[in-house]
Amino acid sequence: MRILFVPMFRHPRGAGPAPASDSLGFGITCSDALVYGLRGLGGLGASVTVTQSAAGRRAAWIGEIIGHVENAAATGRYDVILAFHAFWPFTSDLRRALDDTAPLPLVTYTHGSHWDETDLFRFERYPRLGWADLGNLAAADRVLLVSEYMRDTIVRNVGTASPAAASELAPRLRVVGLPLDLRRIDAAYRTRDSDHPTIVYNHAPIAAKRPGVFLDVAESVLADTAANVLITRHMPPATPWAAKLTSLVQQFPNRVICGEDLPVDAYYAALWRSQVQVSTATHESLGVATLEAMATGNQCLLPRIGAYPEIAADDPAVLYSGVAELRDRLVRAAARPDAERASAHCARIRDAYSPKRVAAAVYAVLCEVA
């Protein structure tokens, strides 16, 4: 099978408002892992070509990519188009280019949705694109989803707005997960400092991740334990949480580390050195930041929301309810991380989200339409 793969735009560091995690993290790492996973399928005969554009600004990049897809379709060299993100470029734009040239099958991932009411980033950044979001999903022959939670949420909410749209869309949805870039993760391996445990917060500084809640809890934990805290993402000064972070840095010098959007390999090295990862999110369609932390042997503490119960195998030692419970459990974890439980989750996640396993699931979906 000849696959033309459409990656998503890679956000230049330091350009514009705080980017979502897709354009700074998993849009790079998981995208690359999917490509090498598909190329490694061996006897299945998958041939993958990745569309390329050197454009530095997103609007120019989108135009170039659509042109490349249109030209590729005209050559007759491909059996299916696989897009990594339904928004970059819009799947509906790819569909129009294909319908005007050669109506090849089109499969797209979606990593979040306006049809998930907890996905605040989309409503804040792109508040009027809800129907465009649905149009993109409806324009694909198949839609790849990262979790059962995402499938159930989209079907339920689209069905409430339009039963006809839901009945058309639901048969096209396929849950395949996302592959972790285990080669790159393992290449960054570092030994842990057992004397000074590090708690890592590796989420985007957006409202749905509630960084302010984490910083409040971190202040208590820093006061009561010898743990360090690592914030991997840059906290723009205009955000409501920047002042709190500055205060913590001043209160606990050398114990609060600001990664300032760590480059990928340095980020993975930091995960290897940390012991505990925390989420305080109110929205999570999968949780790549948590999966990466699990894959590097971190003990994770996650709210019982979204896809977290799914990726935590519903483990009550991982899932918490309420800030008070998080604070108590984080103090205990900082004193004595549960390495045995973390190791068990590490092995499970590395298998379930390996490039080989996820690529095989994606390939099976491509075979349905190609």
Q: Range of 314's domain?
A: 190-352
**Does residue 48 share a domain with residue 20?**
yes
Determine whether 75 is exposed, middle or buried from the number of CB atoms within 10 Å of its CB (0-12, 13-18, 19+). exposed
Phi first, then psi, for residue 363 (nearest 5°) are -60, -40
Q: Contacts by 42-47 with C-beta closer than 8 Å and gap 24+?
A: 44/1, 44/363, 45/1, 46/1, 46/3, 46/363, 47/1, 47/2, 47/3
- Answer yes or no: are the C-beta atoms of 359 and 38 closer than 8 Å: yes
**Does residue 310 share a domain with residue 164?**
no
For the segment 94-119, what is each residue's pLDDT rounded down to a tens digit?
999 999 999 999 999 999 999 999 99
**Does residue 301 share a domain with residue 199?**
yes
**Does residue 363 share a domain with residue 268?**
no
46 domain residue, yes or no: yes
For residue 52, give the amino acid letter.
Q
**Does residue 169 share a domain with residue 62?**
yes
Total domains in the chain come to 2
For the segment 3-50, what is each residue's pLDDT rounded down to a tens digit?
999 999 887 655 555 555 555 678 889 999 999 999 999 777 789 999
**Does residue 99 share a domain with residue 63?**
yes
**Does residue 205 share a domain with residue 148?**
no
**Does residue 79 share a domain with residue 159?**
yes
Tell me how far apart the alpha carbons of residues 330 and 182 are, in angstroms, rounded to a whole number. Answer: 27
Supply the pTM of this predicted model.
0.94
The CATH number of the domain holding residue 131 is 3.40.50.2000
**Does residue 113 share a domain with residue 200?**
no
**Does residue 329 share a domain with residue 211?**
yes
Q: Which of 13-17, 164-168, 255-259 has the lowest mean pLDDT?
A: 13-17
**Does residue 303 share a domain with residue 164?**
no
Reduced to 3 states (helix: H, G, I; strand: E, B; else coil), residue 278 is: strand
For the segment 341-358, what is each residue's pLDDT rounded down to a tens digit?
999 999 999 999 999 999
